[in-house]
Amino acid sequence: MLWTDTSLLIDCLMTASIRPAANTLRIHWMTLFLQVPEPGVASTFPSVVSCNQRLAKVRWPEGPVCVGCQGGEVGFLESRQIYYCRSCNYQCSVKAKTFLHRSRLDLRTCFLAGEDIIRCHAHGNEWSELTGHAFAERLGVSYVAARRIKKSLIEDLSQVGGGLMGKCICTNPIPKPEDINKNSREHYFWLYDQLPPPQQR
């Protein structure tokens, strides 16, 4: 069926086509997308070091804490990007004991992958653009690595507030108008109106 009547399409979207659960999920992703800094993740976090610093700030806003003994006497080896505990001698990277702990991808690649996943879900084209090979090609990694990080990132970003990755890369708050109820149809279309057109690839 071809949609020739815009008002009919909108009416359908607001009733049968947008089920409450799907509506809320799309609102979640659109909100995250609009909170990504306008210059983009690549410009905001131009190096692996800047990404490491951002994750550390999100994880430990009051300063690093040992993930082994939970002590606060933690030093940092800048040349190796490794934290070490002066109490128990435990050493780890900033990714230790997070969902990224076992990933061999550097943190900047993970940040860029998170942005890509948010963008695709916000525009509703995740089924066409987040295929394994296309995603791997955009990240410059193997198919297996892309598949693993995609699964981990989607699970994390789907959490309320965007999970750990969402807190790292979604740094631009967008306050909802007070006259719009959260997760309502009005909320959905208010967010939708602010989305930029999907990028042509």
Cβ atoms within 10 Å of 145's Cβ, excluding its own: 17
pLDDT of residue 200: 52
pLDDT at 131 over 90: no
Q: Of 55, 194, 78, which is closest to residue 64 (Cα–Cα)?
A: 55
CA distance 24 to 182: 9
- Report which of 138, 135, 111 is spatially closest to residue 41, judged by C-alpha positions: 111
Cβ atoms of 112 and 41 within 8 Å: the answer is yes
- Give the separation between CA 110 and CA 177, rounded to whole angstroms: 32
Proportion of the chain above pLDDT 90, given as a percent:
73
Asked whether the predicted pLDDT for residue 6 surpasses 60, the reply is: no
> For residue 189, which of 176, 173, 198, 200 has the smallest C-alpha distance?
176
**Consecutive H or E run containing 85:** strand 82-85
Is residue 96 within 8 Å of 109, Cβ to Cβ?
Answer: no
- Is the distance from CB of 108 to CB of 45 less than 8 angstroms? yes
Arithmetic mean of pLDDT over the chain: 88
Domains and CATH numbers, the chain: 22-47+102-194 (no CATH), 49-92 (2.20.25)
- What letter would DSSP give residue 160? G
Q: What are the tens digits of pLDDT across the range 57-105?
A: 999 999 999 999 999 999 999 999 999 999 999 999 999 999 999 888 9
pTM of the entire structure?
0.85
Tell which residue, 9, 10, 24, 12, has the closest CA to residue 188: 24
Structural contact between residues 34 and 56, judged by C-beta atoms closer than 8 angstroms: no
CA–CA separation, 85 and 96 (whole Å): 13
